[in-house]
Amino acid sequence: MARKLAAGNWKMNGNKAAISEATKLAEMFPVPKVDVLLCPPLTILAPMADALSDAKIAVGAQDCHAKPSGAHTGDVSAPMLVDAGAQYVILGHSERRTDHGETDQSVAEKTQAAFTAGLSPIVCIGETLEEREQGEALNVVGRQLAGSLPDASDLDKLVIAYEPVWAIGTGKIPTLEQIAEVHDFMRTTLLERFGDGAAAIPLLYGGSVKPGNAAEIFATSNVDGALVGGASLKADDFGGIISALEAA
């Protein structure tokens, strides 16, 4: 069985004052029944990690460079993230793929860098609305899975997040049947490539997850948690999603 994970992606939101939401969440869940993760912007990663050092909530980053060091102005390497207190890193998010032209190959290189540094990568995949309407969703997901994961993936650390691009921040979500179809497909594809160990890879759903719809999403086949955007910024909202996952 895959472990359950509720991951919050703060994206480009939050400052030092917002760390109070993280500590409030820790007070709400002193011993959570599922894994809980917050991925704040890089500027507050280290202070958030310090604030949560005695809590049962992990801290992660939202990207890393494929190289461990070097002449890459403005970039941050996976070992640097570990030094700052990160345990996870989100890679290949559709906003990175769109805004920065990231490819499956570059995501795979970053994923390998994360493994090498000891981080757990959350590799994001998902189709656009046009691809969904053309009946290409599974083909796109399959291609991204194949290209974004290195052959030497550490299955104990790997996490996959299915985020249909058209559902991110829009309030729209696929039907439960559509989510189940993709998640079942991902599990089968991973088992075929990596063997029985792939049964334990957490498969997260992301895209307009809220306390009100979390329970039915978590009851869906092969959904082991969520990668949450806006609803993770406030402890009360994210807490409702965590509670739903605990009850699933």
Terminal Cα-to-Cα distance of the chain (whole angstroms) = 13
Residue 248, classified by CB atoms within 10 Å of its CB into exposed (0-12), middle (13-18) or buried (19+), is middle
Strands (E), the chain: 5-9, 35-39, 58-61, 88-91, 120-125, 159-162, 203-205, 225-228
Q: Are 45 and 61 in contact (CB under 8 A)?
A: yes
b/e for 143-171, b at 16 or more Cβ within 10 A? ebbeebbbeebbeebbbbbbbbbbbbeee
Per annotation, catalytic residue among 102, 127, 163, 181: 163
Is there a catalytic annotation at residue 246? no
CA distance 46 to 97: 25
Of residues 191, 171, 239, 217, the one with CA closest to residue 33: 239
Whole-angstrom Cα distance, residue 201 to residue 162? 13
Residue type for position 225: G
Is 130 marked active-site? no
Catalytic option among 93, 95, 131, 181: 93
How far, in whole angstroms, is CA 91 from its chain's centroid? Answer: 8
Six-digit token pair at 99?
């805004």
Active-site residue list: 93, 163
